[in-house]
Structure 1
Amino acid sequence: METSLDPLDDVEELRRTRAPDEDALIDGVHILTTVLLIAALVSSVNLPFGEAALNLLLGSGFAVLYFYGTALLPEWREPTALAWLFSLTMLWVLAMMISPVGIYLVFTLFFLYLRVMDDIRGVVAVIAATLASVFTQVPNGLTVGGVMGPAVSAGVVLAIHYAFRTLIRISREREELIAQLINTRTQLAETERAAGVAAERQRLAHEIHDTVAQGLSSIQMLLHSADRDLEKLGLSPEQLAGPTRFIDLARTTARDNLSEARAMIAALTPASLQETSLEAALERMAAGFAAAGELTIDVGVEGAVRQLPMRTEAALLRIAQGAVGNVAKHAAASRCRVTVTYEPDEVRLDVVDNGRGFDPATVQERPAGLGHVGLDAMRQRAAEQGGVLEVEATPGYGTAVSVAIPLPEDAAETTTLEPETSNEEGA
Structure 2
Amino acid sequence: MSIEAELRAEFDRWERNEKVFFAVLPYVLLSICTLITLVLPFWDVSLNLPLVLGLTLVIALWVGWFHAHPRWQESGPLTGLYYVGLIVLGASVVTLAPWYGIFTFIGYVHAFLFLKGRWRYSGVAATAVIQAASSTGGLSGATVNEWLVLSLVIIVLAGAFFRFAELDDRRNHRQKRALAELHEANVRLEAALAENAGLHAQLLVQAREAGVQDERQRMAREIHDTLAQGLAGILTQLQAAEQTAGRAEVWRRHVDNAKNLARDSLTEARRTVHAVQPEVLAEARLPEAISDVTRRWSQVHRIDAVLTTTGEPRPMHADVEVTLLRAAQEALANVAKHARASRVGLTLSYMEDLVTLDVRDDGVGFEPGTRRADGAGGFGLTGMRQRVQRLAGRLEIESEPGGGTAISATVPAIPAGAGR
**Could you state the TM-score of these two structures normalised by the residue count of structure 2?**
0.44
**Could you state the TM-score of these two structures normalised by the residue count of structure 1?**
0.44
Bigger Rg, structure 1 or 2: 2
Q: Point out which structure has higher relative CO (alpha carbons under 8 A, 6+ apart).
A: 1
